[in-house]
A and B are shown apart, each in its own frame.
Chain A
């Protein structure tokens, strides 16, 4: 091992990166773009569901009932229909995704038998929004139902109140239920996976493809020196990206940061080691840049996006998929980040996750080092 050779290798890699300032800029800007999209554009909360109403009763009662849908943030009444076929047309054209139908004799039934039902038709081709929409509609109907019960009771002198159960929630760790605070750890992990694995996956493959690997092999530089020298610049870029992401999240978007910065950066370095080694390994084995980039996508980006618990909760996945996530470094990293940002959990409680992450890092660094042979063919 010689420092001069490592530095020379790093210098070559840095030159190659700096020579292409646009790519470097994009790498540093990607986390910001992604954060801004999550901060301003994409919302995991379902609100303003476009609603279509069809009042077949047309009485004061039914009008009163429908007013309840106007008063909430959850629905936007976009159309008043006058027939079922109009509803079908509007749902087909995706004008509205929920239609509430008040049946004829709604008021009369309510008066005479006490019972009345309503119909909600939902466009469940978006099953997620549909099930949330059902929940909202049901809550509105329930509160209407208890309102008329109170009136009915009072008329008959059965007491002024109706028994009800109210839950007084205190939401811990993310008091305002901001989806942003929830997503930031995932965005950090995602960006690291991209920078780490995508970029490095190309570095060795590129040398093979362009034929410069032969030149590199003919120099006295050792394989460990190549590995360290090549990965070091990307390591620095990865750390810079983490800092940009975390800084913007905390100071621009006001995401709480309750843990320690040391844990954040320590774990980020561990995770970077994981993705860099993985990228390096892929790069060595794939030999073509297209192959390397596709493999990197499969091995890092996708699991980080889908299986880390970043968007989709792990405990809701089928049990076999849950087992698979146990060996994914991203899962531990996202969990640590969430704890560090929102809960401010003590290091003691994170020791398990950190240990597993470190173990995976060691294994992958070893794998990457072994894989590269400094010879042709």
Chain B
């Protein structure tokens, strides 16, 4: 086999592929536009933070203490008092209509119980049709309640035994969120989105490129030329690899410059991680192309794989809250590794000494996908 000839054939194949992909402005836009738009929407829209929960209050106690509790709600940035209700019926109706998410009802006798050193209970109705928001909001409520009770207790001791006030035992927690001190959602999502977009874009581009040739019949024409199968595959995939590198660079720049996500790790480690992952995505795309005769089929099959891959990657929900079986399963998911790798490089700034097991697993997956698809590709053409 003449290496120089092989390289020349690959070069021609790549040239054809580049011309085909970059020929018209419409397709050119498709390579970068959707990824760009998705990144921006994600950066702005995807927030798990819950603030300003709308709240209605019915104060039937109407004492200094109960008003004090209400003012704790109104100064908290977690709550927004949407209504001061006068009767219980308003609470029920408002929740039904969705005017507010929480309805707090302070019974008469609230202050009396507190003064007696007893526990006072407050009735709450929570609209849990969005269970996550409801859960978080109830957590905020008890935090506000605990702070209020603590202040009340100090006041009480102050009245009955002023000399002891400074000795009331109290433990508090100093939280230090590392790597993302402001707990900003976009810092959390941007690296993950980068991984997801790369997977969907590169996998689909590769699969479509091969299947399109098969669907419109030009694959046979290519096959009667002297080009060998592996040369065809290399020529077909390298352009998309380069496009992937370009897109990843673009998205990294948007993430760091526009959204201000820090890139604390070494850029070379980031490049290695992205490139290994791109190989895995290419491999998946090629494998898809061997399983599909039409572009519609390849798209549906791609969707069938990407939905669970995304859901189980730890991108939006933590892997540690999944059942053990799915936690183990996720080791076979290259997206899980790349999301972890990207987050670690961007935010934690760690290097290969920490990330090598994930890199290795991802590389293994890429190798497996590429070799299986090359083997299957031979059969699927003949």
Contact = CB atoms under 8 A, between A and B. Distances in A.
Nearest to B296: A202
Contacts of A123: 178-179, 348
A142 B119 CA distance: 15
B41 A302 contact: yes
Contacts of A152: 167-169
A268 interface: no
B279 interface: no
B124 interface: yes
Contacts of B221: none
B75 interface: no
A41 B125 contact: no
Interface in A116-137: 116-132, 134-135, 137
Nearest to B160: A158
B185 A128 contact: yes
Contact of A206 (B115, B125, B174, B296): B296
Contacts of B120: 163-166
Given A139-B142, A306-B41, A316-B50, A168 B321 contact: no
A48 B320 contact: yes
Interface in A33-72: 33-34, 37-38, 40-50, 65
Interface in A148-180: 148-149, 152, 156, 158-175, 177-179
A214 B343 CA distance: 50
A294 interface: yes
A199 B294 CA distance: 12
B344 A94 contact: yes
B4 interface: no
B169 A294 contact: no
Interface in B127-182: 127-136, 138-139, 141-143, 145-146, 148-150, 152-153, 156-157, 160-161, 164, 166-181
B168 A114 contact: yes
Interface string B261-303: 0000000000000000000000000000000011111011101
B124 A169 contact: yes
Contacts of B381: none
Contacts of B316: 311
Contact of A163 (B128, B152, B347): B152
14 contacts: A20-B293, A46-B318, A119-B173, A145-B172, A161-B118, A167-B141, A175-B128, A179-B132, A210-B215, A291-B27, A294-B34, A298-B38, A315-B52, A343-B96
Given A20-B294, A43-B322, A49-B320, 13 more contacts: A30-B307, A37-B307, A49-B318, A110-B171, A114-B166, A127-B48, A161-B118, A163-B120, A165-B119, A165-B145, A206-B295, A298-B37, A321-B44
Interface of A: 20, 22-23, 26-27, 29-30, 33-34, 37-38, 40-50, 65, 76, 91-94, 97, 110, 113-132, 134-135, 137-139, 141-142, 144-146, 148-149, 152, 156, 158-175, 177-179, 181-182, 194, 198-199, 202, 206, 209-210, 286, 288-291, 293-295, 297-298, 302, 306-307, 311-313, 315-318, 320-321, 338-339, 342-343, 345, 349
The 3 closest A-B pairs by CB, nearest first: A124-B177, A165-B145, A124-B180
